[in-house]
Amino acid sequence: MTKIGIIGIGMLGNAVGLHLLKSGFDLTVYNRTKEKTNELKNNGAKVVDSPKKVAENSELIIIVVKDADGVKEVSFGKNGIIEGKHEGLTVADMSTINPVESKNISKKFLEHKIIKLDIPVMGGPNVAITGELVLMASGDKKTFNRFRNVFEKIANKIFFLEGEGTAHLVKLAMNLQITMLALALSEGITLVRSANVDPKIFLDILNSTYFKTGMSENKAYKMIQEEFDATFTLANLKKDISTITDTAKSFGIKLPMIKKAEEIYKEAVKKGFGDIDYTGILAYIKKNNSQHNK
């Protein structure tokens, strides 16, 4: 069995790790905040004190940290991955990051003779725990195929995309959809509520039409109950929205809707809504309206 390392035991890294342990893999993990590794340790993972030690113990390292700065820190910083490099070591980055940064990071790894794959995913911890993520991959295909058995455990749908960084670019286009859906549902719910119409009726009608989505059929019913326990935090979606606007800027294109969404999510984080689920943008819109109604 492949010896796997995971760096970044947040919500997603923890769930992916638990599933890999259950699938029989040998797993070594590191997280900047050590306490978050306890569940994996109790399930058989080896917990180490640095990304360097993860590298020494692994053939394949999966990075699942917040952003590109985090990826660079665990890769090239003090006691980083490159300090534990050895023949055949491969890195796969599952974090959602800027495709331009991703290309630069791959290039820097190559200078150390390490191949880095891009493996961003769709789906959160709730599906990662059963290996049902949707995985987009780019990078060296031969190396990807070498570890295909691991990726097939993590995800039940895999899309290999040609071109360095392409998987991260498509992942950003996916999170653009998530952002718009969360906002559209939130504004629809707020509109019907303002006229005392039960938002459940609104959802039931929406879900009887061509315009229904997975979000309107599932999470939206939690939204109207004000259940915003995070599977993906509002702060992390704001981080991705800013990555989308940065990427659009570097590609010289204008995406007006996501630019507006960035303002809304930025303000919501500023007002203290960052730690709840990204669908909690509904609660932010509600609070804004209650202030305006005073």
Ligand X SMILES: NC(=O)c1ccc[n+]([C@@H]2O[C@H](COP(=O)([O-])OP(=O)(O)OC[C@H]3O[C@@H](n4cnc5c(N)ncnc54)[C@H](OP(=O)(O)O)[C@@H]3O)[C@@H](O)[C@H]2O)c1
* The CA-based dihedral angle spanning residues 31, 34, 38, 41, taken in that order and rounded to the nearest 10 degrees: 60
227: left (phi > 0), else alpha (psi -120 to 50), else beta?
A: beta
Least CB distance to ligand X at residue 196 (A): 34
How are strands ordered across the β-sheet holding 121-122? 121-122, 133-137, 155-160
x/- track of binding to ligand X for residues 51-90 (CB under 6 A): -------------xxx--xx--xx----------------
Q: Which of 28, 50, 57, 95 binds ligand X (CB under 6 A)?
A: 95
Residue nearer to ligand X on the CB measure, 145 or 218: 218
Q: What is the DSSP letter of 5?
A: E
Residue nearer to ligand X on the CB measure, 166 or 233: 233
Q: Where are the beta strands (DSSP E) in the chain?
A: 3-7, 26-30, 46-47, 60-63, 90-93, 115-118, 121-122, 133-137, 155-160
> Could you tell me how many residues of this chain bind ligand X (CB under 6 A)?
27
Least CB distance to ligand X at residue 8 (A): 4
Separation CA 184–CA 252 (nearest Å)? 27
Least CB distance to ligand X at residue 64 (A): 5
Least CB distance to ligand X at residue 195 (A): 33
Separation CA 195–CA 190 (nearest Å)? 9
Rule CB under 6 A: is residue 36 a binding residue for ligand X?
yes
Q: Which of 98, 166, 236, 279 binds ligand X (CB under 6 A)?
A: 236
Separation CA 114–CA 30 (nearest Å)? 19
Q: Which of 9, 60, 178, 223 binds ligand X (CB under 6 A)?
A: 9
x/- track of binding to ligand X for residues 104-123 (CB under 6 A): -----------------x--
Q: Which of 143, 231, 245, 288 binds ligand X (CB under 6 A)?
A: 231
Relative orientation angle of helices 256-268 and 166-194, to the nearest 10 degrees: 70
Binding site for ligand X (CB under 6 A): 8-13, 31-33, 36, 64-66, 69-70, 73-74, 95-96, 121, 124-125, 231-233, 236, 240
